[in-house]
């Protein structure tokens, strides 16, 4: 998977029913341009100075709420940052009113 392109990763996640976790800020551009309807994505922002334990302490407690949002609204892109509320945008990106 390390050598797969974004489209291949998206296809695998969709086929396997997986949520993609990433810190790649350009991924939302790819999702928007492709009008993708899956997979759900958790984008981790501003975590560079934190340890993996600190990241886990922020992300893991929020996974049930993220799962509930996906169940209720469908595939969604979530942005998770330390000390900020989680934001979500339902896929495909760009169709919802702000």
The pLDDT profile of the chain, 98 residues, written as one tens digit per residue, is 778 888 899 999 999 999 999 999 888 888 888 899 999 999 999 999 999 999 999 999 999 999 999 999 999 999 999 989 999 999 999 755 44
Q: Which residue(s) pair with 90 in the sheet?
A: 76
For residue 69, the enclosing domain spans 6-90
Could you tell me if residue 45 is inside a domain?
A: yes
Could you tell me if residue 96 is inside a domain?
A: no
DSSP per position, 44-85: E-S-TTS-HHHHHHHHGGGHHHHHHHHHHH-SEEEEE-TTS-
pLDDT at 31: 87
Counting the structural domains of the chain, the total is 1
β 41-44/76-80 pair status = parallel
pLDDT at 6: 86
Share of the chain above pLDDT 90, in %: 73
């Amino acid at each position: 998977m390390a050598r797969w392109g974004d489209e291949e990763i998206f296809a695998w996640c969709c086929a396997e029913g997986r949520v993609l976790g990433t810190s790649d800020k350009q991924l939302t551009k790819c999702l928007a341009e492709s009008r993708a309807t899956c997979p759900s994505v958790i984008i981790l922002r501003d975590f560079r100075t934190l340890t993996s334990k600190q990241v886990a302490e922020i992300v893991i407690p929020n996974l049930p709420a993220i799962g509930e949002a996906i169940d209720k609204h469908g595939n969604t892109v979530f942005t998770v940052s330390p000390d900020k509320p989680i934001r979500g945008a339902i896929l495909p990106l760009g169709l919802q009113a702000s």
